[in-house]
Amino acid sequence: AQSVAQPEDQVNVAEGNPLTVKCTYSVSGNPYLFWYVQYPNRGLQFLLKYITGDNLVKGSYGFEAEFNKSQTSFHLKKPSALVSDSALYFCAVRDLGNTPLVFGKGTRLSVIA
Amino acid sequence: DAGVIQSPRHEVTEMGQEVTLRCKPISGHDYLFWYRQTMMRGLELLIYFNNNVPIDDSGMPEDRFSAKMPNASFSTLKIQPSEPRDSAVYFCASSLLGVETQYFGPGTRLLVL
């Protein structure tokens, strides 16, 4: 069965510093990996996805994520955090042939000015 | 594109009442998903449809929950009778094909008193 883990409930980072939100996954085949962001009282917004190709995926708002097959990880990164990046971030995975995404528990990112 | 549309955005009701949540997927999308989000359980998949047909309803918590998709542009999630533990945010999402990005609606915040 496919699964995804976000080991940190909360990540705090100072504005201007780089940020990383961690995600590891488990699937039986090749993974389809996604990151979503949820701002307060809003729905989940798609940030980026990895299907195949380059291991470094660039997405919205300056975010990027690196697919690492050997470590089964798909960490979300941004070189310089903004206060407006403060939100709840979800990693999700789908196995080829399985339609629904499986979501992690979410990581709350707090960027402090 | 208007995105996924959900109504109502907020619903307050009393225990025992029937609650109906509505969703309009993105035009042309053939998959529709219903999720529930709570602090304790995170994001849970309740049911999903493909071409208006329910594919997997194993996430529906009890017989009090039912979902329908009478046509490609409309779906409902009904709770009858409602209970306080049903209080949550309910999201609808849609995607084109099973492997493409899921796009989420703004959610319905349900409070059952």
- Distance, in Å, from the CA atom of A57 to the CA atom of A91, rounded to the nearest integer, reads 14
**A residues 69..88 contacting B (CB < 8 A):** none
pLDDT of residue B2: 80
pLDDT of residue B36: 96
Q: For A70-100, write each residue's pLDDT tens digit.
A: 999 999 999 999 999 999 999 999 877 666 8
**Partners of A111 in beta bridges:** A13
**A residues 15..54 contacting B (CB < 8 A):** 32, 34, 36, 41-46, 49, 51
Whether the pLDDT of residue B23 is over 70: the answer is: yes
Query: For residue B81, is the peptide bond before it cis, meaning its omega torsion is within 30 degrees of 0?
Result: yes
pLDDT of residue B28: 93
Q: Strands, E, within chain B: which ranges?
A: 5-7, 10-13, 19-24, 31-38, 42-50, 53-56, 65-71, 74-79, 88-95, 103-104, 108-112
Comparing A12-21, A28-37, A82-91, the range with the smallest average pLDDT is: A28-37
Which residue's structure tokens are 């542009």? B73
Q: Which chain B residue has its CA at the smallest distance from A40's CA? A: B106
pLDDT of residue A57: 95
Q: What is the mean pLDDT of chain A?
A: 93
Confidence grade of residue B62 (pLDDT, cut at 50, 70, 90) = confident
User: What mean pLDDT comes out for the span A34-47?
Assistant: 94
Whether the pLDDT of residue B99 is over 80: the answer is: no
Pick the residue with more confidence: A52 or B14? B14
**Residue to substitute from A101, A102, A105, A107, interface B, most B β-carbons within 10 A:** A101
The answer, for A101 touching chain B at a CB cutoff of 8 Å, is: yes
pLDDT of residue A98: 61
Strands A19-21, B74-79: pairing is unpaired
Element spanning A57, H or E: strand A56-58
Query: Which chain A residues are closer than 8 Å to B101 by Cβ?
Result: 34, 46, 49
Confidence grade of residue B97 (pLDDT, cut at 50, 70, 90) = confident
